[in-house]
A and B are shown apart, each in its own frame.
Chain A
């Protein structure tokens, strides 16, 4: 399946056409993006995915460029996906983690960022527990900043890979598609980025979960809040489960994991409330048997591992576009 842009078949689009549609140095959040920008990322990700399968050596090279993964908050899969994405593009990757940096000695984010910039990193990928920190960082450094998750704010590359995966399964246009996001919405940056991305792509978003984790104020973002799980699942073309984050919730947000499971866990019986063709998604890591039963996680309806794989191509696209916006990619026109 191809994603046409401006009515042109994909294979007629060269790299320059795609990069010409992207002007941003940074990817800080989904919220300010235009639909066309999301589609540009998807098109380039699609191109990378195809090249990876057919002719990996023709993937444009970022050789000599350094991608710095600045991970103030721990992460495994996002960090690895960025690392692989950068390496597929031929870039060098350096990892700075909080525990291994001067941050534990009290160095500020400003100073750390200036140091890594002075060390000539070409792009900084930031994961941080403080919402808004990528925006703050982008005001300090000249090089591109890519948000790899900031507190409960946004996780833009996750939403890009999620919507990319949905387009592969639900059809190129998500216009009118119904997506239900279930679980811990309040603390979820994945939910926020997906709400913005899905709305920009024309999909309708329903949020569900316990009232303490799905405040009604979310409706002001233009989504539907439906606490009744059966109703929330009935029309969905895709259901996206969110990990119940024990480390973030205080004990006041819900009684227990068992209670959560009994009220909102997606199991075989509740899976039958979904349309047969509906897909099941999860940004990972899954709490098996809590928000999602293994029988569903490992079933044909689950696209969880495709999400992971697509995360590489969408992140390749984001790294490539942000560097090209500041003239740091070679001319790769065909």
Chain B
């Protein structure tokens, strides 16, 4: 017996197909189809999307699911539920788990858990180097056989340029994009926030944007030399954006992502030593924030990714110097980006949604991000104008370390559909 889905009268925005019009979306057995027969329409599950936006399920290529080894913070079950609540149907998880995903057994274990526990689609990444120590290449070929979609030492950055060069060359054999967390460690030892006026005033050890710019520049050089794709994660510095912009103009295969928190906040938020504003890379100056927005608008940073990084309340409840870096972001990403980019008039909805659907999918060659006939029915329905208060007690993930806590944002996910089945109904997760 087949299952039929008919989403009616929504504003269908499918940036990959240049579609933006009120209309219907149909799915049969979890696959999007162009039309249904009258007989099928009679027995279809009908979802009235009047007044709502219907778009491809959102894609986030930068998520920490903390499994295995740090499941007190998050796990694949909880993290994918947070994704669903935020409208994400495809996510990519980072390999800085315990143990790190630097061996085929760990990747297999992650994939087993995904099969059993995930409510959205999850693709794992593998480490660039063994134990993420930046000393020896990880067995990328074996990891690739287990199904990783990219290699990265996210959270750490390979400091040795010779090793990074070989890593990029080696990854190229498998067409595995290299994602890099750009940070020159020699310039950021002990640093806890952006270096600038606020770090001086607060007496916190500052972290210069130059430490990020250096590695972005290095990666441009290596991408050009090795003729391989390097993706710069969570770009936070104004000059870093400019380096990427110029490299792209020269045809060098680099891409960049912007994180909602870097679009939304500046380092002034650290003024009360609130550890919910401590992340890596740090919130930077207003000039940097504006440059990140500009980078998104002109395509230098072609995608949005959250760097969803759960930590427990206890772990964040301490002196600013001692708190771990990172914040969660999947359940607030859409609303935060709508506020900064769309409601402010800087871009339109299709432009933003492209950066949260097909463009991130394309960066890692994922089968996601469109509503084309024949693809799996991964669909997000949201009200771009509905205001809601970010209430940490209502998060679907395990952790609540969110800088938007208590804020009112506009843009609420009304439904998240994976393979034609609703996994988030606007209020709660729908488990099978």
Residues of chain A touching chain B, judged by Cβ–Cβ distance below 8 Å, are 31, 108-110, 128-133, 135-136, 150-154, 186, 189, 192, 215, 217-218, 220-221, 250
Contact = CB atoms under 8 A, between A and B. Distances in A.
Interface in B296-328: 317-322
B267 to A, nearest CB: 12
Contact of B196 (A132, A186, A217): A217
B249 interface: no
B345 interface: no
Given A130-B322, A131-B273, A136-B273, A110 B317 contact: yes
Contacts of B320: 130-133, 136
Contacts, number: 61
A131 B200 contact: no
A130 B319 contact: yes
B377 to A, nearest CB: 48
B319 A217 contact: no
A192 B201 contact: yes
Contact of A109 (B189, B272, B318): B318
B202 interface: yes
Contact of A135 (B205, B272, B321): B272
Contact of B273 (A109, A129, A132, A189): A132
Given A135-B272, A217-B196, A153 B202 contact: yes
Bin chain B's interface residue count: 10 to 19
Contacts of B174: none
B319 A136 contact: yes
Interface of B: 189, 196-197, 200-205, 272-273, 317-322
Interface centre among B202, B204, B318, B319 (most CB of A within 10 A): B319
A132 B200 contact: no
A135 B275 CA distance: 12
A110 B203 contact: no
Nearest to A128: B319
Given A130-B321, A192-B201, 8 more contacts: A110-B317, A129-B321, A131-B203, A151-B203, A152-B203, A153-B203, A186-B200, A220-B200
A322 to B, nearest CB: 20
A31 to B, nearest CB: 8
Nearest to B314: A108
Given A110-B318, A135-B272, A221 B201 contact: yes
11 contacts: A108-B317, A128-B319, A132-B203, A135-B272, A135-B273, A136-B320, A154-B203, A186-B200, A215-B200, A217-B197, A221-B200
Contacts of B319: 109, 128, 130, 132-133, 136
Nearest to B186: A252
A292 B203 CA distance: 25
Contacts of B321: 129-132, 151
A259 B20 CA distance: 68
Contacts of A130: 319-322
A132 B270 CA distance: 10
A96 B320 CA distance: 22
B204 A217 contact: no
Contacts of B197: 217, 220
Nearest to B196: A217
A218 B203 CA distance: 12
B317 A132 contact: no
A220 B200 CA distance: 10
Given A136-B273, A217-B197, A220-B197, A131 B318 contact: no
B273 A218 contact: no
Nearest to B319: A130
A269 B51 CA distance: 80
A108 B314 CA distance: 10
A320 to B, nearest CB: 27
A110 B314 CA distance: 10
Nearest to A131: B203
A12 B202 CA distance: 39
B424 to A, nearest CB: 35
A121 B54 CA distance: 60
Contacts of A131: 202-204, 273, 320-321
B202 A132 contact: yes
Given A110-B318, A151-B321, A217-B196, A132 B204 contact: yes
A135 B205 CA distance: 17
> Which 6 interchain pairs have the tightest Cβ spacing?
A153-B203, A132-B273, A152-B203, A130-B319, A131-B203, A130-B321
A135 B320 CA distance: 11
A250 to B, nearest CB: 8
B116 to A, nearest CB: 35
B318 to A, nearest CB: 6
Contacts of B189: 250
A217 B197 CA distance: 6
A136 B201 CA distance: 17
A144 B223 CA distance: 57
Contacts of A218: 200
Contacts of A109: 318-319
A128 B318 CA distance: 13
Interface centre among B196, B202, B203, B272 (most CB of A within 10 A): B203
A131 B199 CA distance: 10
Given A108-B318, A110-B318, A132-B319, A150 B203 contact: yes
A189 B203 contact: yes
A110 B197 CA distance: 29
A223 B321 CA distance: 27
Nearest to B270: A132
A220 B317 CA distance: 31
A159 to B, nearest CB: 13
A31 B202 CA distance: 10
Contacts of B205: 152
Contacts of A135: 272-273
A232 B197 CA distance: 22
B276 to A, nearest CB: 13
Contacts of B273: 131-133, 135-136
Contacts of B201: 31, 192, 221
A142 to B, nearest CB: 18
A191 to B, nearest CB: 10
Interface centre among B200, B204, B272, B322 (most CB of A within 10 A): B200
Nearest to A195: B201
A130 B272 CA distance: 13
